[in-house]
Amino acid sequence: MSGKVFLAESAGFCYGVKRAVELAQKTAEETGGCWMLGDLIHNSHVVEDLARRGIRKTEDPGSLGKGDTVVIRSHGEVKNVLDDLEARGVRCVNATCPNVCRIQKLVAQAEQDGRQPIIIGEPHHPEVVGVASWCRHALVFDGPEAVKMWLEKDTSHRQIPVTVVAQTTCIRKLFESSWEILKKECTNVKIFDTICNATHKRQTEAAAIAGKVDVMVVVGDRKSANTKHLTEICQKRCSRVLQIESADELSAEVFKDCGAAGLTAGASTPAGIIKEVYASMSEEIKAAEGMDESFEELLNQSFKTLNTGEKVTGIVTAITPTEVQVDVGAKQAAYIKLSELTDDPTAKAEDIVHVGDEIETYIVRVNDVEGYAELSKKRLDAVKVWENIEQAVEDKTVLEGTVTEENKGGIVVSVKGVRVFVPASQSGQPRGADLSSMIKQKVQLRITEVNRARRRVVGSIRSVTEEARKAAQEAVWSTIEVGKHYTGTVKSMTSYGVFVDIGGVDGMVHISELSWSRIKTPSEVCKVGDTLDVYVISFDAEKHKISLGVKDRTLNPWDVFMNKYSVGDVASVRIVKLMTFGAFAEVVPGVDGLIHISQIADRRIDKPEDVLSEGQIVDAKITAVDEEKKKISLSIRALLTPTAEAEAAEDAE
């Protein structure tokens, strides 16, 4: 088996990538030159070749105009970008992989059916970003741990019907472990296995080859997600895995003592590059076999000297249940005990590091006699965290952490494993608030005090929130204008109106501006915490006062009344005010009519309240309308007493 190179049958272009490249080339020939929005595929060599064929690249959709032709990349594009391009007359040739198009349709249909779309994949990958844009709100998780955090954050999530899809190049194990959690914890789950068949075949084949060779080479662009996943899969089966973009990166040293080598390539890698790498590997393996012993002597001379207490960087070569073996370029065999890898007693080594990872550690002990060096990642991490914390004080850096507990006088926030005490006055919560409600919440804070010797760190959430609020206020005051609409939140209420937060600034909505109907208190139409669509009536930037309105000024109540009623019509009205001479009744919101005391009953009454009460709904006849003065006369009596004509008719009978 010496010198043999095993080439994966499925290496190279998949159907979707091949289709995209051919479609782009054909479009360029037909148009004499066209555009691609970003990289058509994740391979710089292919993109450069396309450029030579007249397919220019742009990252800015706005730079394209009517008459331009653009080829949409195989990963797909954000929906509103596509819509905008078409609206501006740009011809779009859609080279999106059919498998990706299917996922786009699945998430759109899920939302239409009232389901929560969930995508398992890399949140920032162009394919995932594009797919997520085909619905209003998709959730993206990069694996089972993120799914667990989402479910633990709010148990109500478990009742939501969900539809689960995967990025086409997602590692199958990640997808399956993610949907198994969702299926177990949620009551209504639909799962669509959208991992590309070619991807699954390529990953399975790569794993099989990696398990029987000494060196595994993965070819593909470093921006390619599926190439990265291939590398990760191979690293679990082979101790020496090399990810390259071209044959230039190979050398004979890579294949030293190599009995057999394996070769696979990502979905965006052209056949020409694969062929070149295959030929180069064969030559380099032969060269490695011909190396003389002087190479070993030179290698021994290059070994570094290890000293206790120093930092050292190495490559993870093997992982066992109790330790991680590391090549640090020294004669000694170096290893990290699991207890020196992490503080988490439940963590597994393979969840923290992988074979082939570069790792920076602290040298705990060197035993030259027995030929080993004991390392610690945990101690170095702790030193780095404290250095970062101390630097954060000087730089006033905003850090993120999770609230872990409430104690006397405040809360504790975990920032990269360091306990940060936040006094209640700096928690950003009102005085006397229940701080236990903040536990498990992610918060942003600044470090205000560090005492490394006493391991004491103090922080402030309030300084960050106040700064954000101040910035929001400045943004409001710099753009505010009469008539501008805001979506605000009711912060407090008085007898004469409500105060609404429109983004860090409070505005006043007078009770008369809350509704066209007559109301006695604001609580009749809203409550604290409600969201209101408000607009600016007036403002005083110097005094920082804003007058807001809620009533729709385009809807004139008098016009509504005139379109709906005429003299002689009967209306169901609400009694809004009782006077000595009669009662006012609301005919439509914002328009009242007068029922004179003589028109309230079919008999003489001393005062209106003998018959009516405020809030009562009664039927009344519209007897007169003064359009100029916008006054309405109503009568209940007209519906109770027969008219003179009716009485005369009855007498005649």
Contact status, residue 191 vs residue 147, Cβ threshold 8 Å: no
Distance between CA atoms of 205 and 191, rounded to whole angstroms?
A: 25
Other beta carbons within 10 Å of 557: 18
Distance between CA atoms of 209 and 637, rounded to whole angstroms?
A: 97
- 489 forms beta bridges with 501, 531
Amino acid at 325: Q
Token pair of 50 as six digits: 């396309």
Other beta carbons within 10 Å of 272: 11
Residue for token pair 């030559």? 283
Active site residue 609: no
Other beta carbons within 10 Å of 582: 20
Contact status, residue 178 vs residue 120, Cβ threshold 8 Å: yes
Element (H, E) at 401: strand 398-407
- Contacts (Cβ under 8 Å, ≥6 apart) of 157: 150, 151, 186
Beta-sheet strands, E only, within 303-393: 311-319, 323-327, 333-337, 358-367, 372-376
Contact status, residue 315 vs residue 327, Cβ threshold 8 Å: yes
Catalytic residue among 77, 127, 205, 284: 127
Distance between CA atoms of 631 and 623, rounded to whole angstroms?
A: 11
Distance between CA atoms of 632 and 626, rounded to whole angstroms?
A: 6
- Contacts (Cβ under 8 Å, ≥6 apart) of 426: 410, 448, 459, 460, 461, 462, 463
- Contacts (Cβ under 8 Å, ≥6 apart) of 83: none
DSSP secondary structure letter of residue 225 = H
Long-range contacts, 29-35 (Cβ 8 Å, 24+): 31/69, 34/68, 34/69, 34/70, 34/71, 34/93, 35/64, 35/68, 35/69, 35/70, 35/71
Other beta carbons within 10 Å of 355: 21
- 185 forms beta bridges with none
- Contacts (Cβ under 8 Å, ≥6 apart) of 104: 76, 79, 96, 130, 131, 134
Residue for token pair 């005090």? 449
DSSP secondary structure letter of residue 9 = T
Residues tagged active-site: 127
